[in-house]
Structure 1
């Protein structure tokens, strides 16, 4: 059975699961629309781009990682896994239409080094993925689990943003947590959901006096911190985490629920699925 799935798009191999997956995304878009949020949807990779990926394969279902924004700077990152390195192409038209004509800067991380052999892994970097980047005012936290962003990518970001008044702080992660947004979710000023098991050195100093909703390692591994605040008053998560949502609601936040079971099975949830192009 497995052999018959190799080399096929998910939609062709698992059509019913694909329909449920797309329905999850459509429900989230409908929620955004109810709250007056404009939604721009990336296109799919085309056949030429898929062929260019070669034996590495390709993916384009989480828009959070290929690029991100910090203030007035839009940054194309660099993804560690070879099969993800073309993902940004699915957003290029949006970036061209909205960013090049906008009052902002638009830069890209240097290409990662080529590995010397298959045993060398992904190469020398630099790597910087949007799921590792959390922005709080003039402070930018960047996770480093050894699986995604690396020290070289963090140094590059520090050099870019330092002259603009930002402090870039590296946050070590446990090696079983891919990104920082799998460990910490900033809900609003002074309130966060946190998985302590994912943070071997604890929270960054500036966040330690916040009100913290701590969750178990199991909930963290299932993406319990990867909800999405769409305003200081509204937070979106999965009904799987209603026990976490109830604790968030206790602080006066309206919690909206969207079933994201299929999406989460691919290792990402609400923050992974969305990307902020403009903050107000």
Structure 2
């Protein structure tokens, strides 16, 4: 049986499922776009090319292996975008959750079935169909579980609304000893204002720091709660343009080591000032699909 355990976002990573950009298919049509940022690039003719995205993911894999992380990959599906493995599943403690994602993406999950089959079946949980949840909205943080959600009545009209109230209630029931804290996210068809997932406007880092974007949160008190939780002096506040570029979607290999996009100069300088080792890689093409480093990973085991 494969051991799984994830208690937070920053403990030393041992095993991860990294998505793949191979055979991701032709540029989608405008109607096929799942998010406003992809749509923007489809219409502008700047949608990323497969070979560029493969090169970016190879750079990511090389950094992970440099730190002796076991890197697992999904089975290849022809003409299917399999980059964002975070969307399809997530781990909290020693429990593996199958995410309830957009129905069109069902086959992406089947492509990691060979990995799921190695996990104790008693620890594999599928929430009821009406409990919508994606891994980008879920952040285990020791005794807390942070979840991004959208509970307004027009939920079903928003393709960018990915996690609902029922899912938050289910997770709360399953972890009675943890504090589950949900945050209402701003959903918009304008890519500059849309927080697709919680990790698009917030991410905790080792040494109790965090990246935050105030406008990603619909309720100011909820944003303020995070500021108080981490301490104002420990927070790197990003602008709406930096949120659009996915500044908060970096990825921690450990409490000391963070993988970041090489163009995030302001952030990367701050991280180094805080004492982090920053591994810079190119990931700007993949970011055109409103996803970045955290979105491409599904951690199974952290020490």
Length-normalised TM-score, structure 2: 0.75
1:196 corresponds in structure 2 to: 214
- Correspondence for 1:149: 163
Q: Distance in 2 between matches of 1:73 and 1:189?
A: 25
Matching of residues 124-163 of structure 1 within 5 Å: 125-145=130-150, 146=155, 147-162=161-176
Q: Which runs of 5+ in 1 are unaligned?
A: 1-8, 51-57, 112-124
**CA distance change for structure 1 residues 191 and 17 in 2, over 3 Å: closer, same or farther?**
same
**1:24 to 2:41 alignment:** no
Distance 2:108 2:268 in 1: 31
Q: Give 1:85 shift.
A: 3.2
Aligned counterpart for 1:177 among listed residues 195, 199, 213:
195
The partner residue of 1:67 within 71, 83, 89 is 89
Q: Please, what is the CA RMSD of the aligned residues? A: 2.2
Deviations 1:28-61 (A, max 9, x none): 1011111111101111236xxx8xxxxxxx6432
For structure 2, the residue ranges without an aligned partner over 5 or more in a row are 1-22, 29-47, 156-160, 188-193
Task: Give the distance between the partners of 2:136 and 2:302, measured in 1 at CA.
Answer: 17
1:220-256 C-alpha deviation (Å, 9 max, x unpaired): 1221100001111111111221211101111000111
Q: Is the 8 A contact 1:143 1:171 kept in 2?
A: yes
After superposition, what is the alpha-carbon deviation per residue over 1:159-206, rounded to whole angstroms, capped at 9, x for unaligned?
A: 1122xx222111111111110000111111311111111123314356
| Count, aligned residues | 243
- Which residue matches 2:301? 278
Q: Which has the larger radius of gyration?
A: 1
- TM-score by length of structure 1 reads 0.80
Cα distance in 1, alignment partners of residues 296 and 255 from structure 2: 19
Distance verdict in 2 for CA 1:203–1:74, change over 3 Å = farther
Q: C-alpha separation between the residues in 2 aligned to 1:13 and 1:184? A: 29
Contact 2:25 2:81 in 1 (8 A): no
Residues 252, 258 of structure 2: 8 Å contact kept: yes
What CA distance in whole angstroms lies between the structure 1 residues aligned with 2:213 and 2:96? 28
Corresponding residue number in structure 1 for 2:103: 82
